[in-house]
Chains A and B, each alone.
Chain A
Amino acid sequence: MKFRNLATAALCAIGVAFGPSLAAAQDAGGTFVYIVQPEPPSLASYLSTSGPIGLVAPKIYDGLFDYDNDLNIVPALAEGYEVSDDGKTVTFTLRQGVTWHDGAPFTSADVQFTVMDVLKQVHPRGPNSFREVTSIDTPDDHTAVFNLANPAPYMLRALSGYESPIVPKHLLEGQDLRSADLVNNPVGTGAYKFVEWKKGQYIRLDKNENYWKPGLPHLDRIVGRFIPDASTRTAAMENGEVLYGAYGAIPNIDAVRLREMDGFSVTTDGYSMINPMALIEFNTTIAPFDNPAMRKAISLVVDRDFLIENIWFGYGKPATAALSSNFDATGLYAAGMPNYPASGDVEAAIAVLDDAGIMPDADGVRGSFTLDLIPYGEDWRRAGEYLKQALMPLGLEVELRYEDVPTWIKRIYGDYDFQMNINYFYQLSDPVLGVHRHYGTDQIRPGTAFVNSSRYSNPEIDALLAAGAVEPDADKRSEIYAEIQSILAEDLPVANVFEMEFLTVYNDKLKDHATSALGAYGPFDRVWIEQ
């Protein structure tokens, strides 16, 4: 039995203990206006993990945990937890005296309902995060016992207010989860209460006077503004009309300019649980990428440094394996994998093609195919143009295709009518949550977006992925993932290009906005504005 009372640790770690002395220096009140872009489709974070929802909903809904910038667990609605020796029972001690924004008390029944009836049923990633949870017992109002079929170490990293928001049972039970009033009128336990959503303009949240963290939040109100045009967003930031823009709301080209100006700062903190990875998906079932040599040649020839430096203004790190180097913190990342040269290796790529017998014809052409581009902005188009050029020396002719979002999703994940696709995925806080979906045979799910579009199927990998998901021992788990990464570095159904670094641009008046590993998807409970 290992029992960890997180409350004590957290009191020291996050500054509630020395809070009172600091509080004198923190200005209370004020309205914090920040950019939410694009406008979210709803505020139901338990139904959709759409990015803009994450910018708003975690301020309203708490999770069982939050995570600090070093990815340590910070207690939120759960004060402490206990994992049984066999790893199959996780007991959460819930905070007492917490109320929903409508005044009803928060109890273990809410946790049970949220996980079993909501997240496991309708959340896009919930069925995966909680797949081992068979039932939840609630011996009393502030204890929730998760019974697992197998150990699920990754589950403890999926309990933030963004990834697994705890929702009120009394407002959802017996209703259609997708059309309940809660979808657009969220009621949570978080630092801010939902007040108003003016479509096309803003979402307004006011201070929760009964928030369970004493003395917080400092602000009276936060307002998420929707500004469609990127240049206008930058102008609004410069003019002080908005104080904060994350997830590339301010394009890199403007961010590097604002960085040099007085009163503004740029940070790449607050994305470590998101772990975005730019990558190329290959259709491994049709020519030419059914041949692993072709996939290897592409991974070899891409000058990752060039892309980062010239298209993303230096923000990013070359990918070196199937896993992001951010997983080094949890011991899962394997360094030194082959076929991931940082600045491209044309000779090696040509050698790979020659060895595989893929020879140029009379015109020097070894193959021609179409590259699909993720329709999420100009940067990706430029990356496509770069790739087209970079593949020329290999005798590979590339045609670029740029479509709108629904058409593109249908093509890649519905019809599999593509050869090569440039994209980015969130690897999230554990490979089970964010990486397995690329490679598992069970993740070939026609019509489901952002899963195994390569239709890569390798029984060896399947077995290793299954083992990695349930292995409670950290060292053994590292070994399993090292093997996975070395197989994938040769097979390359997906060639990772670079670990993206999203930018948050903020006005220096804004303080304490980066206290959670979730950054802009965090609760914003300690943010304050210097008057």
Chain B
Amino acid sequence: MRYVVKRLLQAIPIVLAIIILNFLLLQLAEGDAVDVLAGEAGSATPEYMAELRAKFGLDQPLPVQLAVYLKNVVFLDLGYSFRHEMPVSELIFDRLLATVLLMVATITLAVGFGVFLGLVAAMGLNTWRDTAISIFALITYATPLFWVGLMLIVVFSLNLGWFPTSGMENFAMFYEGWDRVKDIAHHLVLPTITLALFYLALYTRLMRASMLEQAGQDYVTTARAKGVTENRIMFVHVLRNALLPVVTMAGVQVGALIGGSVIVESVFAWPGLGMLAFEALFSRDLNLLLGIFFLSALLVVAVNLVVDIVYSSLDPRIEVD
């Protein structure tokens, strides 16, 4: 417990530094939210634009803008998106669920299936199974995501009609209750497979290499000398140790996935945070963008903490204190 508190306290200056850095970086972009709004509107008077800038606080000097933002963040107020005319926290929260859904489904599928394939490949080293799995991993890793997504749509939506092409729900029906859950799950399948295929390759390769490395360790020879069965060596001793790098990798990637995969969200019209951030960047909606970055930073810190705790349960030699 003391460890957790200590880690959280350490995180505060890191997160603050991230906010300041993000804020300054985003100032480097040309044009501001008012330019974009005026551009989309067709024409706007200079007075109108000056008025908007004053309202958004964009007429203030940079240090003042930063100070105001930091002050708000301390009170957990992420500010207001003038583009959406909505509080940033509300916008992000709306999208968070979709992102978490896609993220959890993807990581589960990718890690689960990747570990399994890596295990099979390592156990049948240099057999046809190993070769087949390695080739499969290489292909899925090397294929562009948008292409995989579009091909899945062409095959499974247009030709076979098994899944909807896009979106998170059926908007002609607006299901409720369990029907809605089933509907969302139905819509989740293709985006999850697309995104998972990419990460799957990574876990497969990592797991295979990690298994092979562990299998050559002294403790395996010792176990074998003691007469422990091969299956027990594999599944109890080697597997547990081999999982450590996989867990590390998963921890890092959960952080990256929170930003969502812009490509998958775009291809499947999945309403996640990635697209929100992407659009916010192009409309110079800095409050919103900073909010998303802030959330990502918090999540990375939290996930890293969780990973460290998982370590210690996988490998009791690693102590947290």
Contacts and interface: CB of A to CB of B under 8 A. Distances in A.
A and B interact physically: yes
Contacts of B284: 406
A167 to B, nearest CB: 15
B1 interface: no
A128 B86 CA distance: 30
A41 B40 contact: yes
A405 B39 contact: yes
Q: How large is the interface on B (under 10, 10 to 19, 20 to 34, 35 or more residues)?
A: 35 or more
A200 interface: yes
Nearest to A375: B282
Interface in B148-168: 150, 153-154, 157-158, 161, 164-168
Given A49-B41, A232-B269, A223 B171 contact: yes
Contacts of A450: 39, 42-43
B45 A127 contact: yes
A241 B164 contact: yes
B174 to A, nearest CB: 8
Interface in A224-267: 225-229, 231-232, 235-236, 238-239, 241
B35 interface: yes
Interface residues of A, number: 59
B91 A183 contact: no
Chain A interface main SS type: loop
Interface in B220-270: 265-269
A231 B271 CA distance: 17
A500 to B, nearest CB: 16
A179 B51 CA distance: 13
A41 B84 contact: yes
A33 B158 CA distance: 18
Given A50-B41, A198-B271, A406-B29, A204 B171 contact: yes
Interface string B20-55: 000000000111100111111111111011001001
A445 B45 contact: yes
Given A406-B31, A410-B30, A200 B272 contact: yes
B315 interface: no
B130 interface: no
Contacts of A235: 150, 153-154, 157-158, 165-166
Interface in A399-456: 403-407, 409-411, 413-414, 426, 437, 445-451
A451 B43 CA distance: 7
Contacts of A178: 52, 55, 85
Given A228-B266, A406-B32, 16 more contacts: A41-B83, A48-B37, A199-B95, A200-B98, A204-B171, A229-B266, A231-B150, A232-B150, A235-B166, A241-B166, A406-B35, A407-B30, A410-B31, A445-B45, A449-B42, A450-B43
10 contacts: A124-B41, A125-B43, A201-B167, A227-B269, A229-B269, A235-B165, A241-B172, A406-B283, A407-B29, A409-B36
Interface of B: 29-32, 35-46, 48-49, 52, 55, 83-86, 91, 94-95, 98, 146, 150, 153-154, 157-158, 161, 164-169, 171-174, 265-269, 271-272, 275-276, 279, 282-284
